[in-house]
Amino acid sequence: MKYIQSEDILIMDDIRGFKPSMDSMSGTIEWNNGDDMGKYLYATPNWEGEGQCPVSIYTDEGDFQDIAVLKFADMSKTDQKLKYREVVSEVIDTILEKR
């Protein structure tokens, strides 16, 4: 495979207590820390197209905020994983700051 897949994300180490998991119904990747914070971070590789990964925050109220769409063209899989982890880490920092 040319691009990172959900399976690559599921084996990543946690980020400040947040761990990746896959929703069994939709197949999306959610990052959470087990606390009910009312916000959910979704970042699923290839969700909107091959080599792309939308990053969004959803709330219990049904609101969502699209943060970014990562584009992995012309990147090694190692660089894709680093970029993914960097962006997810920044979003987790934002979620924790707004608690």
Q: What is the mean pLDDT of the chain?
A: 93
Give the pLDDT score at 99: 65
pLDDT > 90? residue 81: yes
CA distance 43 to 28: 7
How large is the greatest C-alpha to C-alpha distance in the chain, in angstroms?
Answer: 38
Average pLDDT on 4-14 reads 97
For the entire predicted model, the pTM comes to 0.92
24-63 pLDDT tens trace: 999 999 999 988 778 889 999 999 999 999 999 998 888 9
Across residues 87-99, what is the average pLDDT?
Answer: 89
Polymer length of the chain: 99
CA distance 3 to 22: 18
Element (H, E) at 91: helix 77-97
Residues 7-33 have a mean pLDDT of 95
